[in-house]
Structure 1
Amino acid sequence: MPSAALRVLILQPQNGDGPSHLAHALRQWRQPFTLCLAGDGDPVPASASDWDAIAMLGGTMSVNDDLPALRQIEALMREAVGLGVPILGHCLGGQMLARVLGATVRDNDEPEIGWVQIETTADPQAAAWLGPRTTLPVYHWHIQTFALPPGATLLAGNRACAHQAFAFGPHLGMQFHIEVDAEKLDRWCAEAPADGHPLRVHPHVQGEAAMRADTARFLADSQATAERIYHRWLALAQARRSGPA
């Protein structure tokens, strides 16, 4: 695994949407990290140069909302892109990375709430980040989505949402929640739209029973994909820190 000397920052814009399996993997690999609870008032670090790797988690707000914490995160991520500090964006974090790279974020035609399969592209970067399979089960909870940033490589999509994951240099933006663990999913399953909720008319919105059944089927698979992604993110950070051989 990459050296524990890496300086890893996790940005959490909303209480209750924590790092979950990301934190578990980092602790398992003895990789220290700093968690910034930006949504609870923690100051967002002023400079990306103090970090070797940055991850942003999800939240119920839009990256287009005029919230001071989001604008501070946006400025930090923009600097990180300029410095080549690897960024990992989960759902809202993926949307923020896309915005930083010049893409629009808007309401998606089809909300996705629950477990949905995505299809990977044939680009070698898709296999490098997501593995060799052509379809993957991942967990979603989003109403909005990002356009593909100029110069980015599309890694995955599906019928409901064309842009599920993209790479831009050492950065990865995802529309899904690869960080989920059993505890987070237990809470989110309990919050799933109930029968008769307007969102349930959409084919990719699950109710609680279906969401729990698919969690039992897919969580281990999702976490294996997550660990592949996190390992590559840290390896890219370590390569940048080490510099040319």
Structure 2
Amino acid sequence: MKPVLIIQQVLFDTPDYFVDFLTEQKIPFEVRHMYAGELPPESIQDYSGYCMLGGPMSVNDEENFPFLRQEKELVRQALAADIPMIGHCLGGQLISTALGGTVQKALMYEIGWNPIHVIDAHAARDWFGGHTDFELFQWHNETFSVPEGAKLIASNPYCQNQAFTIGEKHIAMQFHCEVKDKKVRHWAIDEKSDIDAVLHLPSVQSSESLVASLKERIPTSNALAHVIYSRWIRNLPGLV
């Protein structure tokens, strides 16, 4: 089968459990590294699926990050060609804006393991293994709108739009279900000053608590990611 295209925007926002899962399922993939000067492909036709990861830049800042423009073009191509898409954090925002939605400042920063409530019973069964309430990792201060033709399926008190689907094949998520220990540990320690600046918010957890929670949190997070990814790959063309 054709590989899944993975766009990695920055060095430390790695694909983590997503590539573990694809490897386990024997699904080929190709990672393009924007931070290293690589570019997105011109066409999505050589790929069976399209995954976009997160990053600290704004999805609206195409002037300083021109590769975002092509990532959005690939979203439109994938939708037209019926090629499944999955967006994590900035990746979800790219799907929204490519399809006519908007991205703007969120009500407040979210940093840490925050609650998510699935607001659609079918989606709870279909995408989240029957779970309606859980906690996954978040790090963002902007939020996407739900574009026309999409369906909001998850929310929380700090950021109303947590996930939406488009038809049966595409999902955009504000949260980071892909994270593993190393990535969260790096963010918690190396970006501690950013955390401390907004630590007064109820949606932000301390660096120390994030590191202390990893042993308990990561296995649970990976288990739920496994459910989400298992649902997503069902529609990959060429999957046996």
Which residues in structure 2 correspond to 1:1-245 (within 5 Å)?
5-66=1-62, 67-169=65-167, 170-194=169-193, 197-238=196-237, 241=238
| TM-score normalised by length of structure 2 | 0.93
Identity %, equivalent residues: 36
Asked if 2 retains the 8 angstrom alpha-carbon contact of 1:39 and 1:69, the reply is: no
1:159-181 per-residue CA deviation (whole Å, 9 max, x = no partner) reads 00101011012110000111101
Residue 191 of structure 1 and its aligned partner are, at CA, apart by 3.1
CA distance in 1, matches of 2:191, 2:219: 21
SS in 2 for 1:137: strand
- Kindly indicate whether the alpha-carbon contact (under 8 Å) linking 1:192 and 1:206 is maintained by their aligned counterparts in 2: no
C-alpha distance in 1, partners of 2:22/2:43? Answer: 22
Distance 1:192 1:16 in 2: 11
Contact 2:2/2:46, CA 8 A, preserved across alignment: no
Aligned residues: 236
Aligned mates of 1:196, 1:100 — CA distance in 2: 30
CA offsets 1:5-29 (integer angstroms, 9 cap, x no match): 2421101111221111111111122
Q: Which 5+ residue runs of structure 1 have no aligned equivalent?
A: none
Instruction: Provide the rounded CA distance (Å) in 1 between the counterparts of 2:121 and 2:144.
Output: 19
* Structure 2 unaligned residues grouped into runs of 5+: none
* 1:194 Cα deviation after fit: 4.8
Give secondary structure in 2 for the equivalent of 1:184.
helix
